[in-house]
């Protein structure tokens, strides 16, 4: 049965990678392979010889001899399946609720046009200066609001500054590299680092301490090289279009960013799961947004708008929740739960032991980073979290931080290798082969120099 389950994963993931050709959203194969994988696990449960106890990161002793069902107290195979499924679903939902909270805060900020505040700080018409401003902003913003959202925000701002698409795609390419580098050193900057952080593989302090320099080098070196290229010489003519500004926008921007940054602090102080802190932050931001919007509403209108329910229609929280990317949330659910099925059978742990005997762990992690440019980094990191013996790779082991860096930045080498790249590709109609020719080599140089910096640190 194990080969069939692996085949389901391979075929499902193949469908995900060619979603544009199939014209089927990637959440569909992700959910289907999740359901099929766990159904096959249930059907073949009595024949499996090994089972992985994910709660204790060890193989279950004597699993083969256990009965399928037991009338007396004690563990049987069906009970192990129930407990394991509940464990993985709980851990996956922690990540998804965390992401929903972060996405909603960002959308609330956008409801007040808060990100236009950043646009007002940019006072240049030099392409080279604008490149450095965008790279630095991408590096910082992605560490706070994640690399995907930072890319969307900065490309939106870029469109108001640089009207020519042929110029913009060069800036977008470097934004992708900088955003992915910025997301790698922050526990809330990338889905993969969030997974490692919430899985208690890394802590906030050590993640920043170990990865800030490699990530910074991964951003600076490509930007420095790019600033010498012809594409970033000379000046640009800013677009003359003006956008509507909300007087409460700056306040909501600063409040939202502060409350997101507060989440790791809350976890450190209370030792509660990160999603609890994110829900607290969302509650505070939503409360302020509701109070502000209600005051604006009551000052400008006498009663509810015609056809509205008197509140939900004008609620920034309601609007924000309706705009968050539920397809992405469901995609992560499908991917993480499918990997969990493979992990439960002990396949990932066994593969990890084989890899450790066949090659250096550092070489494996470097290759994992390269692989993240071809395959989504989420399943790669999810799989790697079940590969290593916790007795040798405990919390804050250097390998976990190296995985965070490699998976977070390696995806920049291809435009389809990261969420930031895919969204930039769609927003600016960037060709796969144009990116491969003009930007990929810069991303590779940044990735390798960051790898060298990490390995020289001796962590």
Which pLDDT value is given to residue 304? 46
Q: Nearest Cα to 197, choosing from 212, 214, 213, 184?
A: 184
pLDDT: is 260 or 300 the higher one? 260
What is the pLDDT confidence band of residue 299, given thresholds at 50, 70 and 90? very low
**Ramachandran sector of residue 50 (left: φ over 0; alpha: ψ -120 to 50; beta: rest):** beta
Instruction: Tell me the C-alpha distance between 381 and 375, whole Å.
Output: 11
Average pLDDT on 382-405 reads 83
Q: Nearest Cα to 361, choosing from 387, 395, 399?
A: 399
Contact 357, 50 (CB under 8 A): no
Q: Which residues face 244 on adjacent strands?
A: none
What is the pLDDT confidence band of residue 110, given thresholds at 50, 70 and 90? confident
pLDDT per position as a tens digit, 403-425: 999 999 998 998 878 878 878 88
Instruction: Tell me the C-alpha distance between 61 and 67, whole Å.
Output: 13
Contact 365, 403 (CB under 8 A): yes
Sequence-distant (6+) residues with CB within 8 A of 155 are 168, 172, 175, 423, 424, 427, 428
Which pLDDT value is given to residue 210? 94
Query: How many Cβ atoms are within 10 Å of 292's Cβ, its own excluded?
Result: 18
pLDDT per position as a tens digit, 229-251: 998 888 877 765 555 677 888 89
Average pLDDT on 207-217 reads 94
């Amino acid at each position: 049965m194990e080969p069939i389950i692996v085949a389901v994963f391979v075929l499902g993931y193949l469908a995900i990678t060619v979603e544009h050709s199939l014209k089927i959203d990637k959440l569909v194969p992700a959910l289907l392979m999740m359901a099929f994988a766990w159904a096959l696990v249930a059907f073949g449960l009595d024949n499996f010889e090994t089972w992985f106890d994910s709660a204790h990161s060890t193989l279950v002793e004597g699993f083969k001899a256990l009965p399928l069902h037991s009338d007396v107290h004690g563990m049987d195979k069906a009970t192990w399946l129930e407990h394991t499924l509940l464990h993985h679903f709980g851990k996956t939902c922690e990540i998804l609720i965390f992401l929903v909270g972060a996405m909603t805060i960002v959308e609330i900020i956008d409801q007040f046009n808060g990100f236009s505040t950043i646009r007002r700080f940019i006072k240049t018409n030099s392409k080279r200066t604008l490149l450095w401003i965008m790279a630095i902003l991408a590096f910082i913003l992605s560490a706070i609001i994640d690399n995907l959202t930072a890319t969307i925000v900065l490309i939106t701002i870029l469109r108001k500054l640089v009207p020519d698409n042929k110029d913009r795609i060069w800036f977008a390419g470097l934004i992708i590299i900088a955003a992915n580098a910025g997301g790698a050193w922050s526990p809330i900057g990338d889905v993969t680092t969030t997974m490692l952080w919430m899985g208690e593989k890394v802590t906030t302090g050590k993640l920043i301490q170990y990865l800030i320099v490699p990530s910074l080098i991964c951003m600076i070196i490509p930007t420095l090289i790019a600033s010498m290229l012809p594409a970033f010489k000379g000046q640009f003519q800013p677009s003359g279009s003006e956008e509507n500004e909300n007087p409460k926008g700056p306040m909501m921007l600063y409040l939202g960013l502060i409350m997101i940054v507060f989440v790791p602090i809350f976890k450190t102080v209370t030792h509660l799961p990160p999603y609890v802190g994110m829900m607290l932050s969302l509650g505070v931001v939503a409360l302020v947004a509701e109070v502000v919007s209600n005051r604006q509403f009551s000052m400008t209108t006498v009663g509810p708008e015609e056809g509205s329910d008197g509140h939900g229609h004008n609620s920034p929280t309601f609007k924000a929740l309706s705009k968050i990317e539920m397809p992405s949330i469901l995609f992560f659910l499908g991917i993480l739960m499918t990997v969990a099925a493979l992990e439960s059978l002990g396949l990932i742990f066994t593969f990890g032991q084989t890899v450790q005997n066949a090659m250096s762990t550092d070489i494996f992690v470097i290759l994992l980073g390269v692989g993240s440019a071809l395959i989504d980094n989420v399943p790669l990191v999810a799989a790697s979290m079940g590969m290593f013996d916790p007795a040798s790779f405990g919390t804050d082991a250097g390998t976990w931080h190296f995985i965070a860096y490699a998976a977070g930045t390696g995806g920049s080498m291809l435009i389809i290798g990261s969420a930031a790249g895919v969204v930039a590709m769609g927003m600016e109609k960037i060709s796969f082969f144009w990116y491969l020719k003009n930007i990929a080599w810069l991303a590779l140089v940044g990735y390798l120099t960051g790898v060298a910096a990490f390995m020289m640190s001796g962590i």
